[in-house]
Amino acid sequence: MGEIYQIFGSDAAQMAYQLLERMGLNLNSKLKVGIKPNLVLAKPSISGATTDPQLVAGVIKYLQHQGVKEIVLLEGAWVGAETKQAVKVCGYEQLMAEYGIQFYDLKEDQFTKCYSGDLEIKVCRRPLEVDFLINLPVLKAHCQTKLTCALKNLKGCIPDSEKRRFHSLGLHQPIAHLNKILKSDLIIVDGIIGDLTFEEGGNPVQMNRVLAGSDPVLIDSYVTQLLGYQIEEVPYISIADRLGVGSSDLTKAEVINLNQTTTGDKLELTIGADKVEALYQYITEKEACSACVGSLIHALQRISESSGIPQDLELFIGQGFKGKSLAGIGVGSCTNNCENNIGGCPPTAREIVDRLKQLW
């Protein structure tokens, strides 16, 4: 059975450390460990685009406490962006100085021609050379592939020419095959702030959660539900499953929650969050947890992308509505006295989408 560990909160460093402790990660101190965040472009993590450096700090602290000496940071930003600029703007220079970590810009790396079946893929050498690869993607929706998380994050480990070719090949096949060649040994998903629609951020959604596991296919399958999609809507997941990269069978997954959701630490997400703001007009919120509101925002976006949202829709959410009998639709188990309720604590965006469609 595949395990997915989940923790809620906003102290990224502490959350990463606690997850690794709970997972019992115990690496030989002689291993060379590679850390691959998502620094797709030069925008800080609060934009929803990039991995929170504090999440990486928590991982490094844990590894260094275990005696691991060689830890390297690996990234190649997307075509058109400079990785070094992303490293700087996203707060990673300070992190590397503090922990004595070496950084490799994969845009300057050499590559090796690798094969998965008949498909040749050029892969940067540095990621292939590490003994243990830790993949730290951001939980984001994506305009072309719908989801970008664990499997797609490895696209930063190929040269720019190959990134362009991946697009000409339709993304799904090559992303799955790349993961057959380059294995993520551990995945830690930054779901504290992700994006509603785009890889480059700009519509940040605070969900205050971090997930971890060792199967990138299972992790991606699980997070499709958190964004309101179905696994079949992201073809590279089932292709990766067929290739033996991992399992997309969520019925065999065990989700281990380290704590409960929290109502605190709401951030002012002011970086061009117009789409998110527009969706808030349908929500009446009182003391709601960020994970719950995040699920609802993603659900509303998915509905607006398909059938559209009825203008008179009003949804109640939050602990402030516990025990209140309201005429309308309540989201989350706190609002189970509402005329109609979508249960769960927190419900996934997918559960909200399905139930809202039933109610309409």
| Site for ligand SF4, rule CB under 6 A | 261, 288-289, 291-292, 318-319, 332-334, 345-346
Task: Return the number of the residue (201 or 346) whose C-beta is nearest ligand SF4.
Answer: 346
Task: Return the number of the residue (133 or 317) whose C-beta is nearest ligand SF4.
Answer: 317
Q: Is the dihedral of CA 223, 260, 278, 340 positive or negative?
A: positive
Tell me the C-alpha distance between 216 and 175, whole Å. 12
Torsion of Cα atoms, 106 then 109 then 111 then 116, to 10°: -20
Give min distance, CB of 262 to ligand SF4, in A.
Answer: 8
**C-alpha dist (Å) from residue 260 to 9, 27, 256, 289, 319:** 9, 29, 11, 10, 13
Task: Return the number of the residue (108 or 265) whose C-beta is nearest ligand SF4.
Answer: 265
Give min distance, CB of 318 to ligand SF4, in A.
Answer: 5
Task: Return the number of the residue (66 or 333) whose C-beta is nearest ligand SF4.
Answer: 333
By Cβ distance, which residue is nearest to ligand SF4? 332
Segment (H or E) for 35:
strand 32-37
Give min distance, CB of 58 to ligand SF4, in A.
Answer: 23
Contact indicator for 82, 42 with CB cutoff of 8 Å: yes
Give min distance, CB of 296 to ligand SF4, in A.
Answer: 9
Task: Return the number of the residue (60 or 296) whose C-beta is nearest ligand SF4.
Answer: 296
Give min distance, CB of 209 to ligand SF4, in A.
Answer: 10
Tell me the C-alpha distance between 360 and 338, whole Å. 16
Tell me the C-alpha distance between 360 and 353, whole Å. 11
Task: Return the number of the residue (136 or 223) whose C-beta is nearest ligand SF4.
Answer: 223
Q: Is the dihedral of CA 266, 134, 4, 29 positive or negative?
A: negative
**C-alpha dist (Å) from residue 334 to 300, 330, 331, 339:** 19, 8, 8, 13
Which among 258, 308, 316, 255 is positioned nearest to 288, based on CA atoms? 316
In the chain, the amino acid numbered 62 is Y
Give min distance, CB of 289 to ligand SF4, in A.
Answer: 3
Segment (H or E) for 96:
helix 92-99
Give min distance, CB of 331 to ligand SF4, in A.
Answer: 7
Task: Return the number of the residue (65 or 324) whose C-beta is nearest ligand SF4.
Answer: 324
